[in-house]
A and B are shown apart, each in its own frame.
Chain A
Amino acid sequence: MKLGPGTLYGTIDRMIRDQLVEETGFTDDARRRYYRITNLGHRVFTAELSRIGNIVRATRSKALPKGARA
Chain B
Amino acid sequence: MKPPNPFLFALYRNSLRLYPHRLRLLYQDQLLQTARDAYADSNSSLYFWPSLFADLLKSAVKEHLLMIRDQAIARPIFFHALTLGIILTLFGAFAAFVFQALLRRGANEPQAQMAALYASKIASGANPGEAIPSNYVDLERSLEPFVIFYSDQGAPLTATGYLNQVIPTPPSGVFGYLRSHPTDTITWQPQPNVRIAAVIHRVSGPHPGFLLTGRSLRLVEEQEEVLRKMVFGGWFLIVFLLFAGAILLSRLQQSPPRLVRGG
Q: A10-B23, A10-B62 are in contact. Are A31 and B55 (CB under 8 A)?
A: no
The number of A-B residue pairs with CB atoms under 8 Å apart is: 57
Residues of A within 8 A of B56 (CB): 4-6
Neighbour of B19 across the interface among A2, A6, A8, A29, CB < 8 A: A6
Q: Which chain A residues numbered 1 to 51 have a C-beta less than 8 Å away from chain B?
A: 2-10, 12-14, 29-33
Residues of A within 8 A of B23 (CB): 9-10, 13
B163 to chain A, nearest CB (A): 67
Q: A45 to B133, alpha carbons, bound, how many Å? A: 92
Neighbour of A5 across the interface among B26, B31, B62, CB < 8 A: B31
Neighbour of A4 across the interface among B19, B27, B29, B59, CB < 8 A: B59
Cross-chain contact B60 with A9 (CB below 8 angstroms): no
Residues of B within 8 A of A33 (CB): 30
Tell me what chain B mostly uses at the interface: helix, strand, loop, or mixed: helix
Cross-chain contact B59 with A32 (CB below 8 angstroms): no
B33 within 8 A of A: yes
Cross-chain contact B58 with A7 (CB below 8 angstroms): yes
Cross-chain contact B31 with A9 (CB below 8 angstroms): yes
Q: A30-B29, A31-B32, A31-B33 are in contact. Are A5 and B38 (CB under 8 A)?
A: yes
Residues of B within 8 A of A4 (CB): 38, 51-52, 54-56, 58-59
Chain B interface residue number, banded: 20 to 34
Contact with A along B23-51 (1 / 0, CB 8 A): 10011011111110010000000000001
A40 to chain B, nearest CB (A): 20
Count residues of A near B (Cβ-Cβ below 8 Å): 17
Residues of A within 8 A of B58 (CB): 4, 6-7
Cross-chain contact A6 with B30 (CB below 8 angstroms): no
Residues of A within 8 A of B63 (CB): 6, 10
A35 to chain B, nearest CB (A): 11
Residues of B within 8 A of A30 (CB): 29
A19 to chain B, nearest CB (A): 16
Cross-chain contact B55 with A9 (CB below 8 angstroms): no
Cross-chain contact B29 with A31 (CB below 8 angstroms): yes
Neighbour of A9 across the interface among B27, B51, B52, CB < 8 A: B27
A5 to chain B, nearest CB (A): 4
Cross-chain contact A5 with B29 (CB below 8 angstroms): no
Most buried by A among B29, B34, B51, B66: B34
Q: A13 to B27, alpha carbons, bound, how many Å? A: 9
Q: Which chain B residues numbered 121 to 154 have a C-beta less than 8 Å away from chain A?
A: none
Residues of A within 8 A of B (CB): 2-10, 12-14, 29-33
